[in-house]
Chains A and B, each alone.
Chain A
Amino acid sequence: MSIDHQHRILAHTRSVCPVCLKALAAVRRQEGEAVFLIKNCPEHGEFRTCIWRGSIPMPSWQRPKKPSAPLAPVVVTEKGCPFDCGLCSAHGQHTCTALLEITARCNLRCQLCFADAGSGAGQDPGLDRLAVLYDEIMRAGGPCNIQLSGGEPTMRDDLAEIIRLGRSKGFPFIQLNTNGIRLGSDPSYALSLQEAGLASVFLQFDGISDDVHEAIRGRALALIKEQAIVHCGVAGLGVVLVPTIIPGVNTDQIGDIVRYGLRFSPVVRGVHFQPVSYFGRYPSPPRDQDRITLPEIMEQLARQCEGEIRTDHFAPPACEHALCSFHANYLLQPDGSLRALGAGGQACCHPSDAGAPSPTAMEGRDKSVSFTARQWAAPVVCDAPENSAAPEDELDIFLRRAQTHRFSISGMAFQDAWNLDLERLQGCCIHVMSPAGKLIPFCAYNFTSSEGGSLYRMAEAP
């Protein structure tokens, strides 16, 4: 008797039908080097979506944590996940980053947009309403990190006031999610935001050449992105490059993007890759070859940065569900080489560590909040020691360099209606503050049916 390990069910979970959004049982099934999420809707049939592909086995990518329910659940669990978001008491992770969408307006028309921005943009929430939403984030999630998002947040001329308001409400780390057009066009703009209390810029950055920007964003943006980085550096803002990776469009620039970021270290603090997700109307399911999974991005990083980056440098996350992300930290050394910090996946809980107690989700969340704030902001350089004539040892040299030139490489896979895994959703730590004042897990807020229908975005009245 033998077991075929090439085809086996790795886990039972739940998902939704991409057509009618009804909740369904689902499995993660290993088939050779790929893992598929498979679900069957009685009305709309079977859906199979590749969710993991490559040489890093999904069963090895674990980081167990004890779920930790919201401190102040806003919604009573009635219909079951994902229909009670707000958050409900069944959610397993606290807010690490709260997104505040301050406008639906945008100065780009990207085909792929989480926020469906620009189309029928309504009125922006006023400062009074944003004050209420900040308060609600603080009440529900505590002093988490804030990301101002949209739309394109720089469309608002009162952005500095919105940042100042957030800081006055007690949020220590505020990041701006932007395409960089205004930051690049106006040399004094970055400084005005920094003076208001902004720490970091999450810069949409899909590639190093204009053909990539034109393919994804419809405009040549390479020059303006670089100007944005330079202006942020002058203003003392940290920058994170955020590429959306699309098969056949920019997968061959994964290594180039890292090298580009390193050229601008320490202004650029890291690169955060996001595999493409499919939102909006899709009459037929996106093909598996139109997706790239996290292990494939890690493999491309190793292949395109050969000798500097290895797949075993990467570790699953302490905060969100293990299958949602990877990360590694490096020291950019004076000779331009990269030195991996930490022990990569070895540092994390492996199945062999089964005897050790799992940390709570709250512990992982706290680590992530402070790490993100430290790593993604501009470096804080301590004064030179009083006796600067004292010889430096290797620990001193390392500490001094690491203050400024630590560089993070990470990736996060968002979920759409086809690959949505409710176990992952319940471990989500990135929450959108909805106009109605509820914290909704990012993917629950953004996923749409194949007809473009949404559970939460535009579905609730403030």
Chain B
Amino acid sequence: MSTFSFISPTTWRCAPCNGELQPEKVNVSYMGSIFTVELMVCPSCGFVLIPEDLALGKMHAVEQLLEDK
């Protein structure tokens, strides 16, 4: 089973390195919880692209669940 469904070709490039992004497993952590997902990453400097729909969608939903009342 893939760990992430958001890897897809992208026109975004890494600004400092001007390199193409490649899929890579990344640990995202929030309030003590860690999730391993695949994201588009700059192979030289490690810059990670988080697409807007992921940030405002699933990631936001997870953050809300983890946030303290």
Contact = CB atoms under 8 A, between A and B. Distances in A.
Interface of A: 315, 317-319, 327, 329, 339-344, 346-348, 367-368, 371-372, 390-396, 398-399, 402, 406
Interface stretch (B15-23, B30-38, B41-49): B30-38
Contacts of A315: 68
Nearest to A375: B69
B4 A393 contact: yes
B69 A367 contact: yes
Given A341-B66, A342-B66, A347-B68, A394 B35 contact: yes
Given A394-B3, A395-B59, A347 B31 contact: yes
Which 4 pairs between the two chains have the least Cβ-Cβ distance? A371-B69, A391-B2, A394-B35, A393-B4
Interface string B23-67: 000000001110111100000000000000000001101100111
Interface of B: 1-6, 31-33, 35-38, 58-59, 61-62, 65-69
11 contacts: A347-B68, A367-B69, A368-B69, A390-B5, A391-B4, A392-B5, A393-B4, A394-B35, A396-B58, A398-B33, A399-B61
Contacts of B38: 393
A399 B64 CA distance: 10
A394 B37 contact: yes
A343 B3 contact: no
Contact of B2 (A329, A347, A393): A393
Given A393-B38, A398-B33, 12 more contacts: A318-B69, A327-B69, A341-B33, A341-B65, A341-B66, A348-B68, A368-B69, A391-B2, A393-B4, A393-B6, A394-B36, A394-B37
Contact of A399 (B6, B32, B65): B65
Contacts of A372: 69
B3 to A, nearest CB: 5
Contacts of A398: 33, 35, 62, 65
Nearest to A327: B69
Given A343-B32, A391-B2, A399 B67 contact: no
A381 to B, nearest CB: 14
A271 to B, nearest CB: 16
A393 B68 contact: no
Contacts, number: 68
Given A393-B2, A394-B3, A318 B68 contact: yes
Contacts of B65: 341, 398-399, 402, 406
Nearest to B65: A402
A319 B5 CA distance: 38
A367 B33 CA distance: 21
Contacts of A402: 65
Given A393-B2, A395-B37, A342 B67 contact: yes
Contacts of A340: 32
Nearest to B59: A395
A393 B62 contact: no
A318 B69 CA distance: 7
A80 B57 CA distance: 49
B67 to A, nearest CB: 7
B1 A391 contact: yes
Contacts of A327: 69
Contact of A395 (B58, B67, B69): B58
A394 B2 CA distance: 9
Contacts of A346: 32
A315 B66 CA distance: 13
Contacts of B37: 393-395
Contacts of B68: 315, 318, 329, 342-343, 347-348
A348 B2 CA distance: 36
Nearest to A63: B68
A399 B1 CA distance: 17
Contacts of B59: 395
A317 B3 CA distance: 35
B2 A395 contact: no
A139 B58 CA distance: 37
A392 B5 CA distance: 7
Nearest to A316: B68
A200 to B, nearest CB: 16
A329 B67 CA distance: 10
